[in-house]
Chains A and B, each alone.
Chain A
């Protein structure tokens, strides 16, 4: 099937304004009759729930954490982009649009990206009004800094905790609505199923993580803001609770999953220290503004970094990409690090690390300036590694970080299942095959504050509220399915823990479907994953009960879903017989090792439909049209 993204036609500059004019509205007196379920309370979900509550909808919000203030948006350090052009350095909506399209390696929808760039400016205004303490100049004006993949300074930040401050802004707006009674908050709930009645999304099934009870909730629309899936690699920078479970449930109920092979590997994370490792810690990309990345020129050089003279160091990013240097985009920087290590020039235990060196910056700017910019990051690094980055270079290695792929949505952020909207990282829409730094926060808030309030009205205005409630047989069935699955998991009583399975799956995904993929490695993964899944359902050991607070059961459920999703992700990577952005197929590279796209055959979104357990997914294509940018080789030299 050829999918229609329902993008507005006409000049792109007016596309969003025109579309907003064309969208239907819901009368203020009628809004409260519509119940909207918002799942996930990170930037996208928090902003959406708060804003829809402000508008007068009857909102119920859900999160698996104990508070809506804790979603993993909180961990974003570096900043948020906007096309304000405050520094007068040549930025514009068009330039942010172009940089995002190019950064995504020409695999995103033009109209969605234009809208993102356009509303980016409103986000900064909104957050400032909420009391987000952005960094300021002595003049009292907002400060900006530069970030990977851009030649202008358009990144706004709040020390090294921008994600935290933006999330607390959205959380406080949400708190205000909870207080006002327009949003009902359900914490410690995990969405485990989507309820679809006559092809339309009408509610969700959640597990109450405190009591174990399976609950049904009906709604006139469901808004999924449930984040990304890179925990499929087990070791990633995501929080431990991040999972594909909610998105996968929606997929199994008919929602298409788009471009799942597009995953981002972040170039600057703290290297793994041993097998006990439970997650990897990201160090903000902003570190690359002042740090210089290098490895020894000589293979297997075990000297202390201070003993390696300047002329025996290879500042490989500066060498290979002179105009962007250490600020080359994430996928390029990550692969370059991996190549250096694969050549045997990596540093630290195990040889999987590169240096990020501040000596030159400290000499030029002084230690106090560096401390004011990166102090908290240096502290964090020291806590984990017991090394002082003021005195010796940090060691870094790439780690899975973000998923550009996700549930397919049209221009209205609605999936192919009417009534099911998907926002933020959970959808596939704006980042193409690679996301630029400081753009995730931008997208989450754009979708939540400024897109969904308009587009959801366009949908709700066409339906009658409250026609399906939780006494409908579909809700009962979903509840029974959930209960059966829990019973099944608890009854297996095998030999391996859920974490052991997840670790094994993660290893396969990292080695075979990671930073560099080949037909061979992918086909191998497609052999292994179903076997692993089969073993899981025979040999997993889940302790505790189903009627209780049981973290092992949570773990087991998420692992079971990852074991299914991993196969689809691999399938997509195998089908996309080209390299683009974060999807690097070793068969398709230029002479100097850059990703080589195949625009003729692959300028489309691959949206996969579920055809049931253990059967091949069905491919739907949405062709991508580029009318405002020219498809070009993505060069950062």
Chain B
């Protein structure tokens, strides 16, 4: 199939960007979306033109590096899928596709479709851990965890940190991302000791970096390639209120 692409091109963080038109020819339905872009880039090289910059790495949907808004939807039209796992059979011959970077105040553009997501790292650095230094911990089976709790923790822990939740949110809120980490640890006994301090520190950091608040649009859950549930935002709020009552 043949496609027309409109791709956001921006040479640097402080430069002005714009959508530019490209043709993608002879696209196989078995190609991934990124492989389609690879081919477009190969053609650009042959013409001596600068290639489209986009972040990608594992190409199997787990590292969370790839981040493109395709036709207005972070990670494109297929549910529960990262861009790298989106396949061209989702599109038809003659389609026009708009490709843009994540858009959020906290994610400045580096080049074209590449953004700086270090704000997410800073949220984790603020408290997304247990303070268990290496060594001197009890036997793993000394602390029992009911299976349903462990499963809930795992549901939350599936977050790949791609930032689609933020890109899809009208408020660019990081509450699904933050809620997932807070909930993972809140469902485990190992996370209890620092629970109150953690939720406060992480929330504060998110606000500092310019992420907005949740106003229940639930776009984040719809965009999340791992299907992280908005109930973890509710859990985040409960944990936050609990911490406030404790005076943490």
The answer to whether A549 touches B111, judged by C-beta atoms less than 8 angstroms apart, is: yes
The answer to whether A125 touches B44, judged by C-beta atoms less than 8 angstroms apart, is: no
Number of inter-chain CB pairs below 8 Å? 220
A65 at the interface (CB under 8 A from B): yes
Closest to A275 in B: B28
Closest to A242 in B: B57
Residues of B contacting A68 with CB < 8 Å? 121
- Tell me which of B46, B61, B80, B137 contacts A497 (CB under 8 A): B46
A69 at the interface (CB under 8 A from B): yes
- Tell me which of B46, B85, B116, B130 contacts A66 (CB under 8 A): B116
Residues of B contacting A499 with CB < 8 Å? 38, 42
B235 at the interface (CB under 8 A from A): no
* Distance in Å: Cβ of A461 to nearest Cβ of chain B: 19
**Interface-forming stretch among B155-163, B208-216, B236-244?**
B155-163
1/0 contact string of A424-450 vs chain B (CB within 8 Å): 000000000000000000000000011
Determine the distance from Cα of A497 to Cα of B56 in the docked complex, in whole angstroms. 19
The answer to whether B85 touches A384, judged by C-beta atoms less than 8 angstroms apart, is: yes
B185 at the interface (CB under 8 A from A): yes
1/0 contact string of A317-332 vs chain B (CB within 8 Å): 0000000000000000
Closest to B13 in A: A210
**Interface-forming stretch among A133-141, A146-154, A573-581?**
A133-141
* Distance in Å: Cβ of B67 to nearest Cβ of chain A: 9
Asked whether A69 and B87 contact (CB < 8 A) given A136-B150, A210-B110, A449-B134, the answer is no
Closest to B158 in A: A161
The answer to whether B53 touches A551, judged by C-beta atoms less than 8 angstroms apart, is: yes
Residues of A contacting B35 with CB < 8 Å? 276-278
The answer to whether B34 touches A278, judged by C-beta atoms less than 8 angstroms apart, is: yes
1/0 contact string of B123-139 vs chain A (CB within 8 Å): 01110111111110111
The answer to whether A383 touches B125, judged by C-beta atoms less than 8 angstroms apart, is: no
Asked whether A54 and B133 contact (CB < 8 A) given A134-B150, A274-B28, A549-B114, the answer is yes
Asked whether A276 and B51 contact (CB < 8 A) given A125-B138, A499-B42, the answer is no
Residues of A contacting B58 with CB < 8 Å? 70, 72, 74-75, 239-240
1/0 contact string of A445-469 vs chain B (CB within 8 Å): 0000110010000000000000000
The answer to whether B129 touches A175, judged by C-beta atoms less than 8 angstroms apart, is: yes
Residues of B contacting A538 with CB < 8 Å? none
The answer to whether A497 touches B42, judged by C-beta atoms less than 8 angstroms apart, is: yes
The answer to whether B153 touches A133, judged by C-beta atoms less than 8 angstroms apart, is: yes
The answer to whether B144 touches A240, judged by C-beta atoms less than 8 angstroms apart, is: no
The answer to whether B59 touches A239, judged by C-beta atoms less than 8 angstroms apart, is: yes
The answer to whether A175 touches B147, judged by C-beta atoms less than 8 angstroms apart, is: no
List which A172-221 residues lie within 8 A (CB) of chain B.
172-173, 175-176, 178-179, 185, 187, 210
Asked whether A125 and B139 contact (CB < 8 A) given A69-B64, A74-B63, A179-B125, the answer is yes
**Interface-forming stretch among A25-33, A163-171, A409-417, A599-607?**
A163-171
The answer to whether B129 touches A497, judged by C-beta atoms less than 8 angstroms apart, is: no
Residues of B contacting A126 with CB < 8 Å? 132, 134-135, 137
List which A212-255 residues lie within 8 A (CB) of chain B.
237, 239-241
Among the interface residues A70, A84, A161, A187, which one has the most CB atoms of the partner chain B within 10 A? A70
Determine the distance from Cα of A133 to Cα of B31 in the docked complex, in whole angstroms. 34
Determine the distance from Cα of A284 to Cα of B49 in the docked complex, in whole angstroms. 40
Asked whether A124 and B140 contact (CB < 8 A) given A159-B154, A176-B131, A552-B45, the answer is yes
1/0 contact string of A90-109 vs chain B (CB within 8 Å): 00000000000000000000
Determine the distance from Cα of A140 to Cα of B149 in the docked complex, in whole angstroms. 9
* Distance in Å: Cβ of A550 to nearest Cβ of chain B: 8
- Tell me which of A71, A130, A173, A237 contacts B190 (CB under 8 A): A130
The answer to whether B56 touches A276, judged by C-beta atoms less than 8 angstroms apart, is: no
Asked whether A175 and B121 contact (CB < 8 A) given A65-B57, A134-B150, A543-B50, the answer is yes
* Distance in Å: Cβ of A136 to nearest Cβ of chain B: 4
Closest to A171 in B: B124
A122 at the interface (CB under 8 A from B): yes
- Tell me which of B51, B59, B132, B133 contacts A543 (CB under 8 A): B51
A593 at the interface (CB under 8 A from B): no
Residues of A contacting B25 with CB < 8 Å? none
Residues of B contacting A173 with CB < 8 Å? 129, 132-134
B92 at the interface (CB under 8 A from A): no
Closest to A279 in B: B59
The answer to whether B134 touches A133, judged by C-beta atoms less than 8 angstroms apart, is: no
Closest to B88 in A: A276
Closest to B57 in A: A239
Asked whether A67 and B59 contact (CB < 8 A) given A176-B125, A543-B51, A549-B110, the answer is no
Determine the distance from Cα of A278 to Cα of B38 in the docked complex, in whole angstroms. 9
Residues of A contacting B39 with CB < 8 Å? 276
Residues of A contacting B138 with CB < 8 Å? 125, 129
The answer to whether A141 touches B125, judged by C-beta atoms less than 8 angstroms apart, is: no
The answer to whether B63 touches A72, judged by C-beta atoms less than 8 angstroms apart, is: yes
Among the interface residues A140, A276, A282, which one has the most CB atoms of the partner chain B within 10 A? A276
* Distance in Å: Cβ of A143 to nearest Cβ of chain B: 9
Asked whether A133 and B45 contact (CB < 8 A) given A70-B63, A70-B64, the answer is no
Closest to B152 in A: A133
The answer to whether A172 touches B61, judged by C-beta atoms less than 8 angstroms apart, is: no
Residues of A contacting B12 with CB < 8 Å? 548
Among the interface residues B12, B129, B131, which one has the most CB atoms of the partner chain A within 10 A? B129
Determine the distance from Cα of A450 to Cα of B135 in the docked complex, in whole angstroms. 8
Asked whether A240 and B111 contact (CB < 8 A) given A129-B132, A175-B121, A449-B134, the answer is no
Among the interface residues B30, B34, B120, B146, which one has the most CB atoms of the partner chain A within 10 A? B30
- Tell me which of A74, A139, A185 contacts B62 (CB under 8 A): A74
The answer to whether A544 touches B51, judged by C-beta atoms less than 8 angstroms apart, is: yes
- Tell me which of B85, B110, B139, B153 contacts A383 (CB under 8 A): B85
A470 at the interface (CB under 8 A from B): no
A560 at the interface (CB under 8 A from B): no
- Tell me which of A66, A172, A178, A278 contacts B117 (CB under 8 A): A66
Name 8 A/B residue pairs within 8 A (Cβ), A-sorted: A54-B133, A69-B121, A136-B150, A158-B154, A240-B56, A384-B32, A499-B38, A551-B51
4 nearest A-B pairs in the assembled complex, by CB-CB distance: A140-B144, A172-B129, A129-B137, A128-B140
Spell out B's residues near A (CB within 8 Å).
11-12, 28, 30-32, 34-35, 38-39, 41-42, 44-46, 48-51, 53, 55-65, 78, 80-81, 85, 87, 89, 110-111, 114, 116-118, 120-121, 124-126, 128-135, 137-141, 143-147, 150-151, 153-154, 157-158, 160-161, 184-185, 188, 190-191
Spell out A's residues near B (CB within 8 Å).
47, 50-51, 54, 65-72, 74-75, 84, 86, 122, 124-131, 133-142, 158-159, 161, 164-165, 168, 171-173, 175-176, 178-179, 185, 187, 210, 237, 239-241, 273-274, 276-279, 281-282, 379-380, 383-384, 386, 449-450, 453, 497, 499-500, 541, 543-544, 548-549, 551-552
